[in-house]
Each structure stands twice: as C-alpha cells, then as structure tokens.
Structure 1
Amino acid sequence: MDLTRENFRALIYYHFRRGLTQKQCINQLTSTFGDEASSKTIVYHWFSEFNRKRSMLTDEFKESRPKIILHHDNASCHMSAETTLFLEGQKIELTGHPLYSPDLAPNDFYPLPSVKNKLRGYCYSSREEVVDAFKMHVLEIPQSEWKKCYKN
C-alpha cells in the first residue's frame, strides 16, 4: 500500500501530539517505512507548522499559480490528437507558434555561428567592446554572402 503525503503528515501529526521530538518521529517513520518515509526536512517543516497551530494536512491552494501548465510541442502523431482533445475538453485555449526553420530565422543559421567562431577565445573588458567587435565582424561579411543567406 502506497501512502500519500497526507497520510505521512497524519503520522507526523500523531507523533507530534504524542510529544515525540522531531528526531524520534524521523526514527519511527524510518524504522516503519524505510526509504518511503518522509525526509528529515519535511518532518521538521510539519512540526513547525503544528507548533503554529496548523490543523489542515492538505496543501494550501495558491491562487497566483497557474492551474495547468502543458507544452505539448514535439508530441508524437497519435498523442498529439489525444492531447488536443484533452485540452479542448478542459477548455484550454491553444495557441500555435511557427516552426523553427532557416527561412523564418536566417540570421540564426548563417551569420551568428560564423561571427561567434571569430569572437571565440577573446576576453573583452566591457559590454561595449563586445558589441563593437560583433559589429566589426558582421560588417566584414561581403554583400554576396548576405544575398546567398536570404536567397536560399
């Protein structure tokens, strides 16, 4: 039988009410549940919560956090349809984004790697010095190379 977090919290609360120390509680849980027992940090946390008169064993709901976060890009074909149906059933708005391809972002595929290679190995003392070096190397690229970049 697998115990939930709430089950372990109830056991920690039981040990707290019996007057055991945190170390005694940890020893009891470890001797009973072995590796499945709550960690020392969790036991200390819940002892401090119970000392503050906390009575609920469930996690507190935080409204500032999003309810569902899911990025289903790169899902396989059979999973993509199922995922899309699930998201529509949950009334989650789907927003697409363009594919990453050289035609949509030619700068990522031609000049940046070559300029990065030319700048590699140098130490710059300021941000402005790096920007100036970058501009110098970009301006050294012949127009014919730029035309090839945007033609293909």
Structure 2
Amino acid sequence: MDQRICIKFCVKNEIKCYKVCEMLTKAYGESVMSKTRVYEWYKRFQDGREDVADDERPGRPSTSTTDENVEKVKAMIMNDRRITIREVADDVGISIGSCHEIFSNVLGMKRVAAKFVPKLLNFEQKQRRMEVAQESLKEVNDDAELLKRVITGDETWVYGYDVETKAQSSQWKHPGSPRPKKARQVRSNVKVMLTVFFNFNGIVHHEFLPQGQTVNKEYYLKVQRRLREAIRKKRPDLWKNNSWLLHHDNAPAHTSLLVREFLAKNNTVTMPQPPYSPDMAPCDFFLFPKIKRTLKGRRFTSIDDIKSASLKELKAIPKIEFEKCFDDWKKRWRKCIISNGDYFEGDNINVDE
C-alpha cells in the first residue's frame, strides 16, 4: 500500500516511471514491487485513478490468502528463491492453488530460469557501467546531434558453418506427427575475422583480417589509418571539422599506447565503453547478430564464400536499421541505470514512459 501511495505521488509530480522504479528500489530494496506492477499502477494513476487499494474481486473470498499467510510465504521466498510452490504450501499449510494465488496475484512474482551473462559483475564494475551510461546520456541530452557524429566498430569471427538457433530450427507440425530431429553439430574451423565501423547513416569501413595475421596493436593502428581515409571519402561533413567521435571496446589492441598516441595526435575524441558490456556496444547488440543470424545453418566451403556472404548481409541492412540502433543505444543506457549497473537484457524494463 505504501509503495502505491509513493507511485501516486510521483505521477502527480510528473516523475517518469523509470525514475519511480529507481526510487522505489532504493527505498524498499528486496521488498520492492515488481517492475511490471509498478508500471501497471503508474498507468492506473496516470489515467485518473485515486484509490490505492486493490479492486474487489468477484466470488467467494479466499480464507487462505490472509495477510499472515502472505507474510509467511514472502519470508520463505526471501530466504530461498529456489523453493517450490509445493514446499511453500506444505510448510504454510495451504493448498497449492492458494499458494499460487499469493505468488502470482498478491506478490506479483513468477518463477524464471537464470539467464546466462558474460560475467558476474562485482560492485565496482556495475558502478563503472552506471557512470558511463549516466555520462553518455548527459552528453547526448546536451547535444542532440552527438550520436550522429559517433562512428563505432569492432571485430568478430564469421564461420564457414555456425549452428542454427533453436528458433531457426523449429518447424510447424500436426499433433500426431513425430517431433523433428537434428544431429548435434559444432562450428567449423574455417573462419575469417571481419572488422566493421559504422555510424547513424550506415557502414563507413569494413575489412577482413588477412590469413595468418592477428589483431595486435600494429594491425589495429593500420585499421585506424584506413578508417580515417574512409571517413574522408564517405563522411566529408564529419571529416571537414574533425567532428566525429570514435567508439570501440577495451580490447588490448584498441587501448594500446601505440593506438592511443595515434588518436591523440589526430585529435580523435573517443566515447567511453565500460568493460564486460556487450549489451551497450552497438556492434555486439545490433550489427554482428544481424549479420550472423541469416548465416547460421549455411555451409561455406571457402574463405572467399564466407566473405561474399558476409558482405552481402552487411550491404543489405537499410539505413533506418542503423538509425534505430543508435536510438536503442540510448535506451540501453537508461536500462543500465535502472538496473543499477547490472545486465538488463531479458528484463521487463520500459523506458518509453
């Protein structure tokens, strides 16, 4: 009830919903309402609702979903997040149906599987992610044209054969038909590394790593020289005033002294990228998955075939998709802040409010 009053107060003061989530999390910690429930009540109060109490439900009132039982269930969940509904029902002495009612409708909880993340972040790493997200958002808010001047890039391996995802290999079938089967497969050893740089308007520069070469500081320095030439030819407006910003990750070749001195010598401004953050790197959350998705499940017998197919997919991406990518980048900074620096992909976070 207290949290609903807080939400109502924030709506009256025209505070954005994502900020309300942050405030409630800071104030109530583990006892905070789920984000889904916060957005639900925020919308109700926004539509003119004044009452903070639950709506009356039709039918016979439940004798099991009492405040005492709700508190018992809540305490058990807080103590063991993996406890089952049957175990809770047996310990509290209520039916499984009543227990499910408390879980779903009273506490607003559901059981979900743990998601894989690149790394279990420590406090300092989460703080760094938040700092970069806040700093980047502030700069974009101060300069609406800033993201249009950013050129971002990275490297990735493209394989001669990459395994299809579950969704790609799924098929329609009749109830009586046997389930489709497929053999377990692995990625091929034939592969080539693709380096791509792009901005708001599309691809600026791409190249493939020569066979036998590694991405070291000397190679990446040459890439930067070729990138500058590509900017001069393809983005003369950015080149003329040297108004472009470079964004890349923290790979050793990217952050080497040799490369940093070259960028400083040419007055190239770089945008910060927090470590262990592919969810906030446009190449990782947009470009590379988009290229590779259609290549999965296809076999290429030679390096040249891999290169041709990769370039075909790269050139097929329309300009509007790149524009959406940069808009999504801003939303991801907001999600990172709402999530207190933790990974947020797969979480139900609405930043459009």
Structure 2 length as normaliser, TM-score? 0.18
- Structure whose residues are more often helix by fraction: 1
Q: Larger C-alpha radius of gyration, 1 or 2?
A: 1
- Structure whose residues are more often strand by fraction: 2
